[in-house]
Amino acid sequence: MEFIAPELLAYCENHTSEEDELLLHITRETHTKVMMPRMLSGHLQGKFLELLVKMHNPKVILEIGTYTGYSGICMARGLSKNGKLITLDINDEIAPMVKGFFQKSGLADQIDYRLGNALDIIPTLGGNFDMVFIDADKANYINYYNLIIDRMNPGGIIMADNVLWSGKILIEEGKKIDKDTKVLLEYNKIVQEDPRVENVLLPIRDGIMLARKL
């Protein structure tokens, strides 16, 4: 998932505002108690999300894929007092841990944490969105995009994580393409060709496709 030399990554992290004790605690707990800890957003991406929220000043953020709450807390920290984060996840087994992290963050009142299938929940949500962060099952990235694109306020930002998929999007001749890679290739193509947005693919961590609604 990392595309730069470890020394350069360390340099970047050393020149990024430090993680506080809560984020370090979430990282430790995720690595010791939760499967696939590599899914954690982590230091660089977390601070990027926080600063982007502070610059954009959204009233409503939708996060599709809470995992252990690291990215959600980072984004919630960038909200104004009247801002709200709606974060969706299907994994109820780690929900008590995640709720505990949200409580410790002091931002639980601004975080609407919902469990269930995002494809079912999103149509029930009222209003439009100013920012969306897609970081859930890759198979449904296009479905998520189709559900939210017309509900983005003008200037709204859609971010999709893992769009470089550990480099698998670079197709080697004769190599079989797995289903998730196919979906991500199609997702990137759809966003690139969508006249409703302007976009940039950022090589941060495992790739973030950032699209702005026109």
Dihedral (CA of 38, 39, 42, 48) sign = positive
pTM: 0.96
pLDDT digits (tens, 9 = 90+) for 67-95: 999 999 999 999 999 999 999 999 999 99
Residues in the chain: 214
CB 157 within 8 A of CB 132: yes
Comparing 37-46, 69-78, 94-103, 107-116, the range with the smallest average pLDDT is 37-46
pLDDT per residue over 111-157, tens digit each?
A: 999 999 999 999 999 999 999 999 999 999 999 999 999 999 999 99
Phi then psi for residue 131, to 5 deg, are -155, 140
Q: Which amino acid does the sequence have at 87?
A: T
Give me 31's structure tokens. 């690595």
**Domains defined for the chain, CATH in brackets:** 6-213 (3.40.50.150)
